[in-house]
Chain A
Amino acid sequence: MMRYLGRRAWHSVVALCALVMLVFFLVRLTGDPANLYLPIDASVAQREAFSQRHGFDRPVLEQFASFVGDLLSGDLGVSIRKERPALEVVLQAFPTTLSLAAITMTLALLLAVAVGSLAAYRPGGIFDRSATLSSLAAASAPDFWVAITGILVFAVALGWLPTSGTGGWPFWVMPIAVLMLRPFGLLVQVVRGAMLDALSSGYVKTARAKGVAESAVVFVHALRNSSLAVVTVAGDQMVGIINGAVIVETVFGWPGVGKLMIDAVMQRDFALVQATILVTASAIFLLNMLIDVIYVALDPRIRHQ
């Protein structure tokens, strides 16, 4: 088990290095930042001074060597735009996105387990059919459109919720609701499918024959055995939530990592792009490791392989 986790960690580190290299060279192909930051009529001397100050005039390989050197000492460079260490800027935005993602995922999981289990309990019934249809709708709705429509209805027309920004709980309602839709819709379908299989299995019949309470049959026997499939999809959706966060943070004007990333790419803020990607990717790789551990905790069969 430890060997397996160790191998996974090693793979993650290699992948992370590959990613860092890729981003470094890709980002430098996007164009000269001097064009973006200096006025159009800037003199050649001004441009050169700018490039020199930020090290853009040196050969790319030399830039890369010094980048790796700085990286090893924990220095991710300075954001040109914000004129502050890039890592500091990213770490400041990170908690916003993290708490948004964590709350969203927890709510989506809890709701999906409840709705999916109920739907699977009476397949073909009224509840099952409406749950299936609405989960399909939730999984198919474009998040940016739901966000805009939500603002139109709940903020502009009804005035119940703020249009954008951060603050007390009313500011959290719409972003979380929008972000939740896709994972919730997909998870309901997964929970339902896995529970259908589990409820028609031999061990559930045995449990019922022994006279185990029906609630225990559903929530202990069947649910625990369905949880593997659910954890897999939930883990994948955690990555997908970052996609959603980019959109949601842009529409609702949240100072999170998603918005930071888009802005950094658009403003050619190299150091900031690299720092955001590195931090996000590390978080995702850590999460994947965590999912592996949860797997083993849930399914003892894996431990003995």
Chain B
Amino acid sequence: MSAKAHGLGGRAADDAQIRRRLPWWRLLLRDRFALLAGLWLALLVLCVVVGPELLGDAATALNLRARNTAPGSLETGWLSVLGTDVLGRSMLARLVVAARNTLLVAASAVLIALVGGGVLGMIAGYAGGRAGSLIMRTADVLQSFPSLLTAVVVLYVLEPSVANLVLILAVTRLPVYVRVARAEVLEIRERLFVQASLALGGGRSHVLRRHIAPIVVPTLLTILTVEFAVVMLAESSLSFLGIGIQPPEITWGLMVAQGRNHLSAAWWLSFFPGLAIMLAAMSANVLSSWLRTVSDPSQRWRLEAPRAPR
């Protein structure tokens, strides 16, 4: 209550000073958690791009004399700072290399779901009728059934390859985008500029592409970051159960599963990959809640206003 009153008061007083909007990066610098999350994700992207080229050899190099080195020791070089596995391979190097599979699978699944779900949702919202209700019913069924079980069944029918994994992750997340896109379209299509364009002779696909899509897409993009975390966790679960990415490829989820057999002897084998998953998912979640605040005009003042005195 009191903090909110301060915020509102401060907003009125500083309104004159903050006439022009702060650029987004200035806002990011002001929010400590969002900044940390952004930096961490940037570091992960770097790992995805150059990690395997940089540390690929170190991740596969066996060193049987340095088996199961506990983390924190630098005796066998800085690469074993997070410990080594049963074959003496560097934990740190393996984590960096596995980042590519883990993050690329999640990213591609999210993008496919975004495009597919967005298009289907816009069709359902704009065309309606039989096609629309078929799309919505299918989305209902998909959403009301546990995604992990769907994935388990499907991955057993098809081989658990990377492509199939991406596809099933995308399909199970489709309903989210379908619903949001449809709800947006239902509202937008009643607006004046859509009616005007139709009256001027604009075709349906023209209206959909030029007038409706530009408004729907930004909304869908705001779900993207939070969905990224969800999909990454789902992929990890599948890899953990042994039906996701198959060895010799590695992902963080698979590394947790492999380390599980050596739990009492070498706890770090499961611990660090799981921590990596959690930090990445958490960064995505923090960043998405920050993005929501920035993109919401009625909430943006919370970030723009100078810190309220306590």
Contacts and interface: CB of A to CB of B under 8 A. Distances in A.
Contacts of A122: 1-3
Contacts of A136: 282, 285-286, 289
Contact of A124 (B143, B286, B308): B308
B285 A242 contact: no
B19 to A, nearest CB: 25
Contacts of B273: 145
A137 B278 contact: yes
B66 interface: no
Contacts of A98: none
B148 interface: yes
Given A243-B146, A281-B145, A273 B153 contact: yes
B108 interface: no
A123 interface: yes
Interface residues of B, number: 48
B274 A15 contact: no
A30 B156 CA distance: 6
Contact of A265 (B140, B153, B263, B278): B153
A262 interface: yes
Contacts of A104: none
A281 B145 CA distance: 7
Interface stretch (A21-29, A52-60, A63-71, A293-301): A21-29
Contact of A30 (B157, B237, B284, B308): B157
Nearest to A241: B146
Contact of A144 (B137, B236, B282): B236
B197 interface: no
Contacts of A240: 146
A148 B256 contact: yes
Contacts of A139: 285
Interface string A1-35: 00000000001001100110001001101100000
Contacts of A140: 229, 233, 278, 281-282, 284-285
A79 interface: no
Contacts of B270: 145, 148-149, 152
A26 B154 contact: yes
Nearest to A243: B148
A7 B138 CA distance: 16
Contacts of A246: 146, 148-149, 152, 241
Interface string B236-278: 1100110000000000010011001001100100110111011
A146 B240 CA distance: 13
Interface in A263-282: 265-266, 273, 277, 280-281
Contacts of B143: 236, 239
A247 interface: yes
Contacts of B191: none
B237, B257, B264: residue with the most chain A Cβ atoms closer than 10 Å: B237
A11 B229 contact: no
Contacts of A142: 233, 236-237, 240, 253, 256, 274, 277-278, 281
Given A141-B278, A148-B274, A200 B4 contact: yes
Nearest to A136: B285
A201 to B, nearest CB: 13
A176 to B, nearest CB: 18
B33 interface: yes
Nearest to B144: A284
B2, B149, B253: residue with the most chain A Cβ atoms closer than 10 Å: B149
A118 to B, nearest CB: 13
A27 B154 CA distance: 9
Given A239-B143, A242-B149, 9 more contacts: A124-B3, A141-B281, A143-B237, A145-B273, A145-B278, A156-B263, A242-B146, A242-B148, A243-B146
Interface of A: 11, 14-15, 18-19, 23, 26-27, 29-30, 121-125, 133, 136-137, 139-146, 148-149, 151-152, 156, 189, 199-200, 236, 239-240, 242-243, 246-247, 250, 261-262, 265-266, 273, 277, 280-281, 284-285, 288
16 contacts: A11-B140, A19-B145, A26-B157, A123-B3, A133-B33, A140-B233, A142-B233, A142-B253, A144-B274, A145-B256, A148-B263, A152-B263, A152-B264, A242-B148, A277-B149, A280-B145
Q: Sorted from nearest, which 4 A-B pairs have the closest CB atoms?
A: A145-B274, A140-B281, A140-B282, A243-B148
